[in-house]
Amino acid sequence: MKRSACIDALYGEIPFLDRFQAAKNDGFDAVEFWGWPDKDLAEVKKAAEAAGIPICGFNGDADLSLIDPSQAGPYMEYLKKSVETAAFLNAPCVTIHSNGLGDGGVVIDPRDDLSDTVRTCAMFQTLEKCAALAEESGIQMNLEALNITTDHVGNYLKYTQDAAEMIRLIGSPKLKVLYDAYHMQINEGCICDTIRNYGDTFGHVHIADAPGRHEPGTGEIYFPRVYRALEEVGYKGYVGYELFPATTTAEAVKAIMTIV
């Protein structure tokens, strides 16, 4: 499995454009980040190429929601721009979510006025369009469920099973699940069983320990067993370290690189 550094969370001690080289020097195979509109994309591409490290993905949907039927059109228009950005940066994937997220990952509008039926059907219908766009463009879409108690109160998609079964129903090779061990330990636990049951749908994996969202070894998750479960199901994609160092990035990297 290949390691990716989320450079919006790691390397906060240094300027953003310097983080590409730092991640390369520390032995990461790729980098990823959150949003793209706030970045100088030409400079981002230049920094990645100079460091010799690929960008494996970023968020593609900003503050728009899959669950809101009225946002289906704007959602796809924004996603097309994200796909164009991914192509420019040579990034193979973008991440998508059920809800629009604001600063700090705050859920903008949970649309509690809509029934679960409407929200689920709206998400499914727009995901079918996402899959078509992914197949046409060659840019994979990874659908991520988020925790609803600590970081993203009000987020609609909260369980791996719901995400995985939607992906299986749509059946596109370019529409996958982003499985985040931190979020799912909080929401559902049973990480290894979940990997064995739904690992065939995973297109990307995020790692942070829980509680705290710090590096492995700071919380309750036994990551060697998690990695073995991923290997058992044949997962060969990136494992992205989307975590906030408990002390420094240097110490977090030591923990990341020693977990086997």
Write out pLDDT tens, residues 75-113.
999 999 999 999 999 999 999 999 999 999 999 999 999
Lowest mean pLDDT, pick from 22-26, 101-105, 216-220, 246-250: 101-105
> What does the pLDDT look like over 48-83, one tens digit per residue?
999 999 999 999 998 999 999 999 999 999 999 999
Omega of the bond leading into 92 within 30 degrees of 0 (cis): no
For residue 1, pLDDT over 90 is answered with no
> Percent of the chain at pLDDT above 70?
100
Output the six-digit token pair for 255. 């923990």
- The CATH number of whichever domain residue 107 belongs to comes to 3.20.20.150
pLDDT at position 260 is: 62
In sequence order, what are the beta bridge partners of 83? Answer: none
> What does the pLDDT look like over 222-233, one tens digit per residue?
999 999 999 999
Q: Give the domain range for residue 10.
A: 2-258
d(CA 39, CA 91): 15
Count of structural domains, the chain:
1
For residue 159, pLDDT over 90 is answered with yes
> What does the pLDDT look like over 146-156, one tens digit per residue?
999 999 999 99
> What does the pLDDT look like over 162-209, one tens digit per residue?
999 999 999 999 999 999 999 999 999 999 999 999 999 999 999 999
Radius of gyration of the chain (CA): 17
Which position has the token pair 């809800």?
A: 99
Which position has the token pair 């796909």?
A: 83
Burial of residue 259 (CB within 10 Å: 0-12, 13-18, 19+) is middle
Q: Which helix (H) or strand (E) holds 63?
A: none
> Percent of the chain at pLDDT above 90?
98
> Buried b / exposed e across 90-128, counting CB within 10 Å, b at 16+?
ebbbbbbbbbbbeeeeebbebbeebeeeebbebbeebbb
